[in-house]
Structure formats: structure tokens, C-alpha cells
Amino acid sequence: MDKIVVLDFGSQYSHLICRRIREFSVYAELVPYNITLEELQKHNPKGIIFSGGPSSVYNSDAPIPEDGIFDMNLPILGICYGHQLIVNKYGGKVKQANKEYGSSLLTIDNDKDLLNGIGESVRAWMSHGDEAEEIPPGFQVIGHTESAKFAAIASEEKSIYGIQFHPEVVHTEQGTEILKNFVLKVCGANQDWNMKGFIESEVEKISKIDGNVLCGVSGGIDSTVVALLIQKAIGDRVKCVFVNNGLLRLDEEKEVEEMFKNNFKVNFTVIEAGESFLNKLKGVEDPEKKRKIVGEEFISVFTEFAEKKGPFKWLAQGTLYPDVIESGVSKGPAAVIKTHHNVGGLPEWLNLDILEPLKELYKDEVREIAKILGVPEKLFMRHPFPGPGLAVRIIGEVTPKKLQISKLASKIVEEELMEAGLYENVWQAYASVGDDKAVGVVGDERKYGNIVMIRVVDSIDAMTADWTRLPHGLLEKMSNRITNEIEDVTWVSYAISSKPPATIEPQ
């Protein structure tokens, strides 16, 4: 299939470029900016995109791609820092400017190729501290803003384009259309990336592995799709194991067991391990330590099961692209945001090979696969749930009391969203609890109780998220129910921080 390669220079939006391109059925893959020419040629790309990044091209340690990449005679699109790289490479000048972060009006000066069909002007998202002072010979201005007269430039002869703004973020109007113009019109890529094709190729790939597979399932869509894909490929050689770690949503362990036994013809075993997980987490407050403890305990449980019921050669997991990225083990220079228990939390002593069929996919792509494989709609429309469970929604030490508060409060949040017809409109919703307390009044008595934080966000792929503007009346209903129905809760707050700078989960 045709492919667009995105060179990652460290932008928080790098993976959104790939995500947007995949939306119109072209495969896009992120690679490190310092990939060798030889390695890049193996990808056989139809075009190359340089991402944004925090560096300045005039600094001595600025990340620069291998020189031969510019000589591949492939179309290139530079975004933000990538735009400045192109300016600098071909003889223009880049200067430090006043930092510009936010929406600007982009006026279209030339609507051929890259900006074709965009209109006379659009709102474009800026996030930069440098800008082009002079453009290179042979380039022309195709778009400008009030503060950036070289906001979009092009060399039609070389098929090289540079844009100072970010078309990959939703704040840029017609941003996807700009990327589509580059990928489809300039690069001439075929739209041959689809989930039916992915299923066929992945099943064929998995069918060639030797040995048996131990598949950990959580009841979530990711691990369920992994289980069904592997079963489709190797049949009874996969054994699905559900570990009840005590950190699940209210009554979730019962729902998961019923779902697998009633809907899927797979080998399925339940392991009750809640007590061991809670014992390991006792007294631990640090978020990263909690994540790693949960990860190690999962592996410990699986390893013990494998030794008794094996032999197994593989451990299968529902790792997704965002998990890999945030854990700092992605292909680009991304910083570690938090360790995901099925990625960065794996212990060194693990003696099973890891099988991760979905690690290059985004959540909505997995949902599409789920539909194709016949997963019940109730499951694939369910909100994402973190691998370490409520351990990362409980701030500070995980205690039985805080666990119960989080379970009951989260259930109330979900029920009220469903009642209002909004559950499927939001990406994720839950209630978190920590050690902070506040004074309340119950009846005529003073009460000193826990504070619960409600978190509801909108997102497409979990790479970025915005807090959901719920109706005040709905928030009031949630708050009243939580304080009335859950003992020891006196206050309810609503989190209004987006990602970035916050993350979706509190820990």
C-alpha cells in the first residue's frame, strides 16, 4: 500500500499528522527525524512530512534530517519547525520572533495544489517562536497571516511546501483538506489503507507464529479485539485470561465473564487476584510506582498461570499507538508522559515474548475492527478504561474506602450521562478521589468528608482532549447523587483542564 512517512522532530502534535492522514485511507507512519536515508528508502514512501518541534534551526544542536533525504525527489511538506528547516536548507533565513500561540487568519495567496479549494481565508493554529525572515530562491508565498508574511510557501518545481501553522489540529479550519491536498494531489497516494485489509494482513502474520499464546483480556475493546484476531489466526492455540485485580469499575468482573462466555467462542479463564494487587499497592502514593506495580503484578499472575497451564511462548496485549507514544518507547523523540502498564511497565524478568497486534493503531481504528469482527456495540462504544484500572484514578494510596467511592461515583456519572443521552458523545467520563477532604453539612450536622472530582473529556484518539462543557443542570444532578448516595463524600468538583497540559487520567 502507499505510505506517507512523517519525520518526528518532537512536536506534541506529530502523531496527529499520521492520525489525520489515516482518516482519508492513506497509511502514514511516524519515524525519528534522524532515520538514515537507507532505512527511509525501505519504507518506499510516496511523500515525506517534517513535523513541528521545540527546537530552533539556527541552534548548534538543532535536529536535522540526513541530507540525502532532500535529494530523493519526493514531495516534502514541512510543518512549523519543518517549515523552518526547509527555509534554512534552501537558502532562506529564519529568525526568532514573538511567540505566537493560538488562532490566526490565514489569507490564501495561491490556491493551487496545497491550498486548493480551501477558500480565500481560514483560521489556522499557530504554535511557534521562530519564523521565516526571507524565503529561499525559487519559492513563492502561497499564504500569509497578519503577523507571518511567509506562513505558507511553495516550490512547485521541487514539490516542496512549508507551512508555519499546524493543519493537523482541529483548531485549523480545513486542516485535513490541506493534508489531503498534499497526500492525494501532490504525492498522488492511493487510498488503500482500511481495516479489512489490516485484519487480513495481521491474521496472516499471526498465523505464522509458533507456540501457544496467552492473551490477557480486560473486557475492554482493545484486548477483546486482540483476542479475536489471534483466535482467527491460530484458533485454540490462544488462551484468554481475565485477571480480576480488584481495580475495575463497579461489577465489571461479572459483565466481562458473561460477555466472553455468551458472545465469543474462545478459551476463557478468570483469575481472582484482587487481594494480591491491593497488598502490593499498600502504602504506595507515587503514580509511576503504582503503574509499574500493577504491570509487574499482572505479569507475575500471567507467568504463574503460564507455568501451570502452559507451555506458552507469547503474551498478547492490547497496546495501542498512544500507549507506546506516552510511555516514551515510540519511534520519535517524545518525552515520557506516563508509563503504561503494558508498555513501559513490563519487568525485565518477563520470560514470555510480547505479541501486540494493535500497537500501530488508534482507538477509533480498533473500534472499526471490532465492528467488522462482530463485537457487540455495547462493548465497542464503551469508554476507554486505563490498564492499571482505578489505581490511576485514585490519587495517593489505593485504599478499600477510596476504591469504593471511585466505583460508586463513576457509576453515577455514567448513569447520568446515559440518562441525558450524552454517554456516546463524550470520549471518557469517570470520578476520581484523593486524600483531600472538605467540610460539609448533612442534616443539621457538620461532616468532614472526601472530595470527588468528576472528569469528562472529548477526544478523537486520546492524543489530545478537551474538557466537556456539560449542562450545569446535569452536573448538579451528578453532584447531588454522589453526595447523597455515597457515605463520606461532602464535595464534588469538575475538572476543566484539557490535554495538554493535563492528561486524561489524573495519575
Residue 79's domain comprises 3-186
Q: Are the C-beta atoms of 3 and 27 separated by less than 8 Å?
A: yes
424 and 457 belong to one structural domain: yes
Here the cell at position 216 is: 490477557
Selected catalytic residue, list 166, 340, 341, 383: 166
Q: Are residues 173 and 219 in the same domain?
A: no
275 and 174 in one domain? no
Measured in whole angstroms, how far is the alpha carbon of residue 190 from the centre of its chain?
25
pLDDT of residue 167: 94
Among residues 349, 380, 411, the one where a domain terminates is 380
- Amino acid 243 reads V
Domain match, 344 and 471 both: no
Least Cα distance to 116 among 86, 82, 85, 154 occurs for 154
| 55 & 104 share domain | yes
Residue 350 placed within a domain: yes
Residue 240 appears among annotated catalytic residues: no
| Placement of cell 455495547 in the chain | 378
> In angstroms, rounded to a whole number, what is the distance separating the alpha carbons of residues 180 and 345?
37
Task: Identify the H or E element spanning 315.
Answer: strand 314-316
310/451 same-domain check: no
Out of 15, 23, 80, 215, pick the active-site residue. 80
Cβ count within 10 A of residue 305: 19
Q: Indicate which CATH number applies to the domain containing 142.
A: 3.40.50.880
166 is catalytic: yes
Grid coordinates representing 421 are 443521552
The H or E element that residue 459 is part of is strand 445-459
Whether 224 and 360 map to the same domain: the answer is: yes
Q: What pTM does this model have? A: 0.74
Together in a domain, 25 and 118: yes
Tell me, yes or no, whether 419 and 364 share the same domain.
no
> Looking at 23, 100, 131, 168, which residue is catalytic?
168
Per-position pLDDT tens, the chain of length 507: 899 999 999 887 888 899 899 999 999 999 999 999 999 999 999 999 999 998 898 888 899 999 999 999 999 999 999 999 999 999 999 888 766 677 889 999 998 899 999 999 999 988 877 888 899 999 999 999 888 889 999 999 999 999 999 999 888 999 999 999 999 999 999 999 999 999 999 999 999 999 999 998 887 889 999 999 999 999 999 999 999 999 999 999 988 888 888 888 888 999 999 999 999 999 999 999 999 999 889 888 888 888 898 889 998 988 887 777 665 544 444 444 444 445 444 556 667 888 999 988 988 899 899 999 988 887 778 898 888 999 999 999 999 999 999 999 999 999 999 999 999 999 999 999 999 999 998 777 788 999 999 999 998 777 778 999 999 999 999 999 999 999 899 999 999 999 988 999 998
172 with 251, same domain?
A: no
> Would you tell me how many other CB atoms lie within 10 Å of the CB of residue 298?
25
Q: Does residue 187 carry a catalytic annotation?
A: no
Does 161 map to a domain? Answer: yes
In this structure, the answer to whether residues 485 and 408 fall within a common structural domain is yes
Total domains in the chain come to: 3
How far apart CA 279 and CA 302 sit, in angstroms, is 17
Cell (9 digits) for 320:
495501542
3-state secondary structure of 506: coil
Shared domain check, 64 and 209:
no
Q: How far apart are CA 56 and CA 94, in angstroms?
A: 9
d(CA 166, CA 354): 36
Q: How far apart are CA 123 and CA 120, in angstroms?
A: 11
